[in-house]
A and B are shown apart, each in its own frame.
Chain A
Amino acid sequence: MSQGVAITGMGIISAIGNNVAENFRSLVEGKKGITTISKINTIHKDVIKVGEIGYTNSQLEHILGLTPDNNYSRTGLIGAIAAKEAFANAGIKDINAFKTGLISATSVGGMDMTEKYYYDYLEHETHRRYIASHHAGDSTQKIAEQLGIDKSLVTTISTACSSAANAIMLGARLIKSGQLDRVIVGGSDCMSKFTINGFKTLMILSDTYNTPFDENRKGLNLGEAAAFLVLESDAVVKAENKPVLGYVKGYGNANDAFHQTASSDHGDGATLAMEKALKVAGYTPKDIDYINAHGTATGNNDLSEGRAIIRVFGEEVPDFSSTKAYTGHTLAAAGAIEAVYSILAMQNNVIFPNLNFKTQMKEFNITPQLELKEKELQTVMSNSFGFGGNCSTVIFSKNQ
């Protein structure tokens, strides 16, 4: 049994950067990655904005050194890029030296290729290799292959927008219980017409830049991204004398049990997730220095989450912000993206601003952090909530 769950590496690719350093620079400079969509031909392109990764698929394939006959979906491609950065960052040389696993998260899986070739598959043989890479687990298998993780515990979680937070949670539990010594955890979701149209029918896409926690918020921008963390047990950290970026200190998972797509008015599930995470961490609300909120900028989420934060923290709500204005809502990857941002915040003692905010919400008087703020941070709480009532909270700490 390992007491601590150390984070020894991280990697990310998003609309605001192709690696950790680029993401950090954009966060500090207040540079958002929300633009008009360029890589998918959708009739909605003039009425939505998205967070797209700069690279095309062929550029990503080139970076990974894949042969032209590969059948990686974009989810697999960006996932492999981020996971490899995390792996290199953790200085992993001998993968077999410790029991190593991989837990990824995705909601779209290989839908990007399926929607491109759906009817074409029956007519032509050219792209049929992608049929078998449609299912969600395939992207994870590809990432494992890229990392050289074989004969190991590898799995995938799909709990909508809370997926990657759950991957981190499961990874931490497997380290604590001694089932694994080391585990790569995170998530990957690429842009797809499927999700664009899905969210469009739900009428929760903004036609302009998303504005989390703003009274006049109009909805979310979809984003694509992947991020991974390397978690290691105390024993591995000690044996390898590793630098530690932070710890996974607490985690909580609950179900709102209210509605398939909407959060309850008072955020019952969110409240429970935050309370459970505090309990696992052995913290009181006072111990949290910053909350990286889910803050999707939909009318429903921000109200429900804000109320839940007030329920948990009472009069003393710590600094909080949503970074979705930078990246868009990256769905199943969001929990991992924001885990990387939470760790960057702690490492650099800085709180990233909640961009695009203008008007205070009238239902409560808490206001997100609007400017870049330097502050000693020992702990960060990160929230991720999804369809199906899935609510997850992870708490990171600088020290064990």
Chain B
Amino acid sequence: MKKVYINSIASISPQKTFDSSEFLNEIIIHEDQVVFAVEPVYKDYIPPAAARRMAKGIKMGVVASKMALREAGLEQVDAIITGTGMGCLRDSEKFLSGIIDNNEQFLTPTSFIQSTHNTVGGQIALELQCKGYNFTYVHGSNSFESALMDAKLQLELEEAENILIGGVDELADYTTKLNKIIHHIKDKKTSSHNLLDSKTKGAVFGEGANFFVLSNKKQATAYAEVVSVKIFNTLSESDVAETALSFLKENNLTVEAIDAIVLGRNGDVEFDGFYTKLSLSLFSNTPQICYKHLIGEFNTASPFGIWLASKILKTQNVPNVLKWNEKNTSSYNTILLYNQYRGENHSFIILKSC
């Protein structure tokens, strides 16, 4: 079986991450319950007329995909696999409120067409004229991980050589309101400074697009090797440590071999216990890294974890703002990532320097 490499990375997030030569050089401290993506200059990547027609999620997805292709020096890929938890929310809201407000009359198809979950994947294919394999996964916080798993399988079996994968989700106003009334979004504004220690219910919601070129041919630009990815629809808090251990064992690794663990902790007192199970026990001596205080929570926030782990493996540098504990290590070679959302859809990923 072939090894699988991350040859390029691209991130549009609530931090200034779109410039790939930087690694969180300046941090934006967010204060609100929802945090919006910092957008690049879209016209550097797509014609302004096209950009105007696209909702933010589509724009972020299409542009992040172009950034990833540019870094990999590719004009074409063999497959495009995207993940999105909520799909094109803004167009969905627009079309739905149109239906209700105007009693099913005077509707135009544009927002319906753009509301389908596979809009971003389809748009990228259209722009690249890529007729290859094209999938969109929509499974909550495992949407991106499903795409990663799928791509890895194809590359290992040499069914493809270069695959573009990505995760994208956008915030939309009405859905934000709904998530506030059911307290999935925090009741009070919370600063990035103390979000992860907030001890309150709910999360701060964010948005973004993270795209990668995966390949079974390592390029000079390569960041990391994707060693393993595994997803679980359910796990109880008491399962997490054992599951992490057996995942490491399946990959012939021990806890000591892990140079850093990237946790999807989001400051929700109800569900951060899953992460604490790992941070206080098995990995208490391992450098721990958190990121959702910088970008908020969304179904495809976890690929930001992959983005930063890739950066760490390549640069051997961990920005202080990411450090959850005081532990350090001389070199970062193997990183474990764990994520879940509201106790569902857990993922474990191992990345290795290459």
Contact = CB atoms under 8 A, between A and B. Distances in A.
B122 A390 contact: yes
A286 interface: no
Interface string A115-149: 10011011000001001100111101100100001
Given A136-B117, A202-B112, A197 B99 contact: yes
B146 interface: yes
Contact of B108 (A131, A179, A201, A254): A201
Interface in B208-239: 230-235, 239
Contact of B153 (A107, A136, A137, A173): A173
B131 A141 contact: no
Interface residues of A, number: 66
B129 A257 contact: yes
Contacts of B234: 144, 150-152
B130 A121 contact: no
Contact of A151 (B105, B178, B235): B235
Given A128-B181, A201-B112, A257 B131 contact: yes
Given A141-B140, A194-B99, A201-B112, A154 B231 contact: yes
Nearest to A129: B182
Interface string A156-167: 111110000010
Given A158-B118, A159-B136, A387-B116, A43 B104 contact: yes
Contacts of B153: 173-174, 177, 179
Contact of B233 (A122, A149, A198): A149
Contacts of A177: 153, 156-157
Interface in A175-217: 177, 179, 193-194, 197-198, 200-202
A72 to B, nearest CB: 15
Contact of A388 (B121, B143, B177): B121
B119 interface: yes
A268 B182 contact: no
Contact of B139 (A119, A137, A198): A137
B122 A387 contact: yes
A15 to B, nearest CB: 22
B142 interface: yes
Contacts of B179: 131
Interface string B147-183: 0001001001100000000000000001001110110
Contacts of B21: none
A122 B182 CA distance: 10
B62 interface: no
Given A132-B184, A138-B140, A158 B117 contact: yes
B85 interface: yes
Contacts of A254: 131-134
B255 interface: no
Given A128-B181, A194-B96, A257 B233 contact: no
B126 interface: yes
Nearest to B106: A201
A154 B137 CA distance: 11
A109 B108 CA distance: 22
Nearest to B150: A170
Nearest to A104: B139
Contacts of A122: 177-178, 181
Given A253-B135, A255-B130, A257-B130, A155 B125 contact: no
A261 interface: yes
Given A141-B233, A144-B233, A155 B139 contact: yes
A157 B136 contact: yes
B145 to A, nearest CB: 8
A150 B137 contact: no
B253 interface: no
B113 interface: yes
A22 B302 CA distance: 44
A57 interface: no
B354 interface: no
Interface in A247-273: 253-261, 268-269, 272
Contacts of B184: 132
Interface string A220-263: 00000000000000000000000000000000011111111100
A114 interface: yes
B126 A257 contact: yes
A115 B19 CA distance: 40
A197 B182 contact: no
Contacts of B85: 135, 137
B105 A136 contact: no
A389 interface: yes
A183 to B, nearest CB: 13
A153 interface: yes
Contacts of A33: none
B121 A197 contact: no
Nearest to B84: A158
Interface in A268-322: 268-269, 272
Contacts of B119: 260, 388
Interface in A41-55: 42-44
A156 B184 CA distance: 22
A328 interface: no
Contact of B126 (A107, A111, A260): A260
Contacts of B99: 115, 193-194, 197
A179 B150 CA distance: 11
Interface of B: 80, 85-87, 92, 95-97, 99-100, 103-105, 107-109, 112-119, 121-123, 125-126, 128-140, 142-143, 146, 150, 153, 156-157, 174, 177-179, 181-182, 184, 230-235, 239, 243, 299, 344-345
Given A114-B96, A390-B134, 13 more contacts: A43-B104, A115-B96, A115-B99, A136-B117, A141-B345, A152-B232, A153-B232, A156-B139, A194-B96, A254-B133, A255-B125, A260-B114, A390-B118
18 contacts: A118-B97, A122-B177, A131-B179, A135-B85, A141-B233, A149-B233, A151-B233, A153-B231, A154-B233, A155-B146, A158-B87, A158-B137, A159-B117, A170-B150, A197-B104, A387-B116, A388-B121, A388-B123
Interface of A: 42-44, 102, 106-107, 109, 111, 114-115, 118-119, 121-122, 128, 131-132, 135-138, 140-141, 144, 149-160, 166, 170, 173-174, 177, 179, 193-194, 197-198, 200-202, 253-261, 268-269, 272, 386-390
